[in-house]
Structure 1
Amino acid sequence: MSDQNKSGGLIDRRGLIKTGAALGAASLLYPPKPSWGASETPIKIGMVDSTTGNFAVLGQSAIKGAQFAAAELNKKGGILSRPVQVLVEDDAGSPGTGVDKASRLLDQSQVDFFTGTTNSAVSLSISQFAAAHNKLFVCSGGHVDKLTGPACNWATFRTCSTTWIMTSGNSGTLVEKFGKKWYFLTTDYAFGHSEQDDYTKQVTALGGTIVGGALVPVGTPDFSSYLIQARAAKPDVLCLLLAGDDQINAMKQITQFGINKDMHIAGALFELEQIAALP
């Protein structure tokens, strides 16, 4: 299911599917020609994602997936006999930076549409930018519900799951097998808020109780104070609603503190890249 690239991280099968979905769909609609001339205008895909910062471990994998998909399409003649180019800009996990980079891709490279974004807050910003500039945005990594819910617009499509889909997929099993008293460690931005809201609705509907929780700033290196508070609450389930390096650091320290011996550790999204980064 996955290959480990020693010099550049991990590319997982799901990442290839998510980031290549829009490209692959287009190739199925039109039969490719075996080659193109030098004068053929390329289809330019502007990919805004994280190559630095807290979300880089995920963003870099998504970028490799998009580049792989483009290479595979180009081997088969591209799309409508036009070569596909993936032009990458680093959003550094910041909505403001993401919009600046999208603007650069549009103004300087004249991209045809946008894809990418791992941070859901960036996804929401790029969605609005794309709609305002009459460009399509195919989101490959922003899971927040409202992207294709209350904040949905004509320009935005999504190839990844929503937080409601992820949380509803395991909330019943977790309550049944692990217990009804839950504590959240939640990343303090759109993705974490959406996950916590969804889990809270589902767990309480199943007869569970939320005994506490904490909002964790993005880029937190030390989780000791949060884990001490979680242990004091004595939950059945410690639910990690984190992302990127935060998830990795939290899981390492949970093991170091022996928290996993006192309670069950759960969550909606544990990426292969994060698991691969653990000792």
Structure 2
Amino acid sequence: MTNKQSKLLMPNRRKVLGGLAAAGAATAMPGFIQAQTSEPIRIGFQVHRTGIGAAYGRWYDRTTNAAAKVINDAGGINGRPVEIIAEDDGTDPKRGAEIVEKFATHHKTDVAYGTLFSHVVIGSAPTAGELKMPYFIVSEGHHQASGMLNRWTMQPGITDVKSQVQAMAPFVTENLGKKITMIFPDFAFGHDHRDYFSAAVE
């Protein structure tokens, strides 16, 4: 065998990493690895239409549907249309867990997403983990980054409260002083502000 032939047969780092990445994606999200199919990608949208998160849910609902329209008008994702299946969780942790289970067992969605309020995320994420449902959250709480949830719960594209308050604390103490009164909601999102901001200004 010549040196040239040996080089052709020898896998390089890029090929190996590319193959591992493809294999990992196929294992993690088998619902997306469907050759030559026009079946829709079914996205379970856990929306706060009622309860204390309704003001946020209204806009999450509108932007989600607008984004799906843009994607579908452009031909979908790899030729597959996006189908949004929305369920109101009432901004309630118990109801949130029931919704995630409904996405997996009744609607047969490929993924679930949309949860903002941290107490609903914490109440819903264990069910996503048990059912191996990829669960994309939009909460800013530190619970996902801290490792308290599970590998099926992902927090893409957003900074969490701990990072935010650590970044702003020096400005507050240098310009406004260190005697600070905090008013915060009595769930994980508010507790993160209380705990991490207090530590940052000490």
- TM-score with structure 2 length normalisation? 0.77
Q: Distance in 2 between matches of 1:175 and 1:62?
A: 34
Q: Is the 8 A contact 1:145 1:162 kept in 2?
A: yes
Aligned residues: 166
User: How far apart are 1:73 and its partner, in Å?
Assistant: 1.0
Indicate the SS of the match to 2:90: coil
Asked whether 1:40 is paired with 2:16, we answer no
Matches within 5 A, 1:261-272: none
Match of 1:9 in 2: none
Match of 1:265 in 2: none
Q: Is the 8 A contact 1:48 1:88 kept in 2?
A: yes
Q: Is the 8 A contact 2:97 2:125 kept in 1?
A: no
Match of 1:235 in 2: none
Match of 2:87 in 1: 89
Match of 2:77 in 1: 79
Indicate the SS of the match to 1:121: helix
Matches within 5 A, 1:113-132: 113-132=111-130
Match of 1:55 in 2: 53
Q: Distance in 1 between matches of 2:160 and 2:77?
A: 29
Q: Is the 8 A contact 1:49 1:91 kept in 2?
A: yes
Q: Distance in 2 between matches of 1:125 and 1:67?
A: 25
Q: Distance in 2 between matches of 1:63 and 1:163?
A: 23
Q: Distance in 1 between matches of 2:94 and 2:149?
A: 19
Which residue of the other structure, out of 114, 130, 133, is the alignment partner of 2:131?
A: 133
Q: Distance in 2 between matches of 1:56 and 1:161?
A: 22
Q: Is the 8 A contact 1:168 1:199 kept in 2?
A: yes
Match of 1:148 in 2: 145
Match of 1:158 in 2: 155
- TM-score with structure 1 length normalisation? 0.56
Q: Distance in 1 between matches of 2:113 and 2:73?
A: 21
Match of 1:181 in 2: 179
User: How far apart are 1:116 and its partner, in Å?
Assistant: 0.7
Q: Is the 8 A contact 1:131 1:154 kept in 2?
A: yes
* Structure whose alpha-carbon radius of gyration is higher: 2
Q: Is the 8 A contact 1:115 1:137 kept in 2?
A: yes
- Letter in structure 2 aligned against 1:75: D
- The structure where helix makes up a greater share of residues is 2
User: How far apart are 1:106 and its partner, in Å?
Assistant: 2.1
Q: Distance in 1 between matches of 2:148 and 2:79?
A: 35
- The structure where strand makes up a greater share of residues is 1
CA-based RMSD of the aligned residues comes to 1.7
Matches within 5 A, 1:95-106: 95-106=93-104
Q: Is the 8 A contact 2:101 2:131 kept in 1?
A: no
Indicate the SS of the match to 1:44: strand
Matches within 5 A, 1:187-206: 187-204=185-202
Q: Is the 8 A contact 1:126 1:137 kept in 2?
A: no
Q: Is the 8 A contact 1:148 1:156 kept in 2?
A: no
Q: Distance in 2 between matches of 1:88 and 1:125?
A: 18
